[in-house]
Amino acid sequence: MPHTVLIAYGSTYGSTAELARTIGDVLRKAGLITEVRSATDVPDLGPYGAVVLGGALYAGRWQRDARRFARRHRKALARLPLWLFSSGPLDSSAAERDLPPPPSVRRLARRLGAREHTTFGGRLDQRADGRLARMIVRSGKGGDFRDFEAVSAWAERVARELRSVTAPQG
């Protein structure tokens, strides 16, 4: 099995992409070969031995690129070791407790045989140019609720599991 770990993400305003890059950095420091890519930028899962897939949450669903990625690559994903993360809540709830995924992501995790799903806090600020996004920010409900220590701790756990999955047999 190839050893490269793919960290793919669906992100509209870039905050989930930053979480994916943080996860990639942690896995790389743990000695794994990693590639961090937008979900729109992965034509084929052939080069990869494991996948971490993350999606920003919009109206209770994963961002479109992450959904499409999961659909397009479902057969390969079902065969690969797979970890999922969502990023979204614009409050401290994700830091306070383990938030379950929305039903659509839960179904996906089950169908693809994901090893784990976790939810991280999100970020929304003036950089977001959508109409609804601007309304949320203007109403004072935006902010950056990403906890990079929690992201790194999760990634370290994934790295430990990955090392046992991708270690050469023999």
| Interaction site with ligand FMN (CB under 6 A) | 11-16, 56-60, 63, 87-90, 122-124, 130, 132-133, 136
**Which residue, 113 or 130, is less far from ligand FMN as judged by CB?**
130
Q: Give CA–CA dist 82/104, Å, rounded.
A: 17
Residues 6+ apart with CB under 8 A from 139: none
Task: In angstroms, give the least distance from the CB of 31 to ligand FMN.
Answer: 28
Best CA proximity match to 61, nearest among 51, 71, 52: 71
Task: In angstroms, give the least distance from the CB of 69 to ligand FMN.
Answer: 14
CA dihedral 129, 132, 133, 136 (to 10 degrees): 140
DSSP state of 17: H
**Which residue, 78 or 93, is less far from ligand FMN as judged by CB?**
93
Task: In angstroms, give the least distance from the CB of 78 to ligand FMN.
Answer: 25
**Which residue, 150 or 165, is less far from ligand FMN as judged by CB?**
150
